[in-house]
Structure 1
Amino acid sequence: MNILVLTLTAALFLAAESGGARPPPHGNFAATARYVLHNNGWGSLASTSTHPPIQGKPYVDTFSVSDGPVGNSTGVPYLFFSPLERTVQDLQADPFATLLVSEVQSGYCASVKWDPEDPRCAKVHLSGNVVPVPEDETDFAMKSLFSRHPIMAEWYKMPDHKFYFAKMEIEDVFVLDFFGGGQSVSLEDYFKANP
């Protein structure tokens, strides 16, 4: 019961934070991808495991994510990593990963009584290499993540965890937002879309 209350509270907070914006209409796949990423606080990141007994097989974990402060979407997923995390260790061996974000977190799907698995509750898959953020981008990555995940500022003060900022260099965008299968989106369309 407490988990349900916390989940609903987080969804309402994110919906309020995004201004309660409605999703783009079906068919505007690039805008949908940007909308879903910008209105999410977390996603599932899949890597190739380096750890026995599942070495070489898929492994997935959840991570907080931000593509920019509220109202300043870049389309680039920023993450906050510690090398103590299993997925981060996997990415050091093979940086290619897929990030899944779902519209369910915004609260919109629940408001129209759609199950999280309902295809109309949009899901976005972003695939590419996850790399450390270059030094000249660190301030923006920090602002993007800390403004949406304030607790991270406290984690940053934990020297033993060696936290650092990372981002995905997107190579593929795939959107499912309706019945009948998903749609690939070109990187050009994705980055020029307005969420």
Structure 2
Amino acid sequence: MAGCARGSARAVLAFLLAPALVALLVAPARGRGGRGHGDWGAAELLPPRENAALVARFVTNVCDWGALATISTQEGVRGRPFADVLSLSDGPPAKGSGVPYFYLSPMQQSVGNLKVSEAEMDVARNSLFIRHPEMKTWPSSHNWFFAKLNITNIWVLDYFGGPKIVTPEEYYNATFQ
């Protein structure tokens, strides 16, 4: 029974996280706390609203943090939605892959069953540590692991008129110029 609940929670998490990714709080493209982890140029141009796939890729690349939403499986609040704000990266500024990676701890309520494959460990590490160098010094006692968001659907809500639906193929084929 617990395995079924865990699998259901994972499915709900994946379902909720994909649209939430596009609803990220966009951090300023310059400044970023003075960490000096990339050159964004003088003024990053926002993609045209008509190109929803490029807007989604742009948001993923400029954001250092995002909201991970899920449905609780904890006693007392089971079935209730909640969200965590997490560090993320899809790679270097203006050169991201579009694949959001996370550096997570099993101590976090919403991420107990997520892991990245061993084959992608170096890509995830490089993507995250270039944008979040402080992660290298986080305490090992928290058992940090890398996780990847497998995108299955995307809703871009960037203006009035409801969301625009973007397929993963459209998303990954959108490129920065």
Aligned with 2:66: secondary structure? strand
TM-score norm. by structure 1 comes to: 0.69
Match of 1:61 in 2: 84
Structure (1/2) with the larger strand percentage = 1
Alignment of 1:28-47 (within 5 A): 28-47=51-70
Deviation digits for residues 48-81 of structure 1 (CA, Å, limit 9, x no counterpart): 2111322122110100010112232111110001
Alpha-carbon separation, structure 1, partners of 2:174 and 2:96 = 10
Match of 2:31 in 1: 13
Match of 2:45 in 1: 22
Q: Is 2:175 aligned against 1:194?
A: yes
Deviation digits for residues 135-194 of structure 1 (CA, Å, limit 9, x no counterpart): 121111111101101110001xx2311001001111111101221111010111111001
Alpha-carbon separation, structure 2, partners of 1:152 and 1:159 = 10
Aligned partner (choices 80, 85, 90) of residue 108 of structure 2:
85
Deviation digits for residues 119-143 of structure 1 (CA, Å, limit 9, x no counterpart): xxxxxxxxxxxx4111121111111
Aligned partner (choices 156, 162, 174) of residue 175 of structure 1:
156
5+ long unaligned stretches in structure 2:
1-26, 33-37
Q: How many residues align?
A: 143
5+ long unaligned stretches in structure 1:
1-9, 93-130
Q: Is 2:134 aligned against 1:151?
A: yes
How big is the shift at 1:86?
A: 1.1
Alignment of 1:64-75 (within 5 A): 64-75=87-98
Alpha-carbon separation, structure 2, partners of 1:56 and 1:76 = 29
Alpha-carbon separation, structure 2, partners of 1:87 and 1:167 = 14
**Structure 1 runs, 4 residues or longer, greater than 3 Å off:** none
Aligned partner (choices 94, 99, 117) of residue 134 of structure 1:
117
Aligned with 2:137: secondary structure? helix
Alpha-carbon separation, structure 1, partners of 2:119 and 2:82 = 31
Match of 2:71 in 1: 48
Aligned with 1:74: secondary structure? coil
Match of 1:76 in 2: 99
Q: Is 2:144 aligned against 1:163?
A: yes
Alpha-carbon separation, structure 2, partners of 1:71 and 1:136 = 24
Residues 152 and 167 in structure 2, CA contact (< 8 A), matched pair in contact too: no
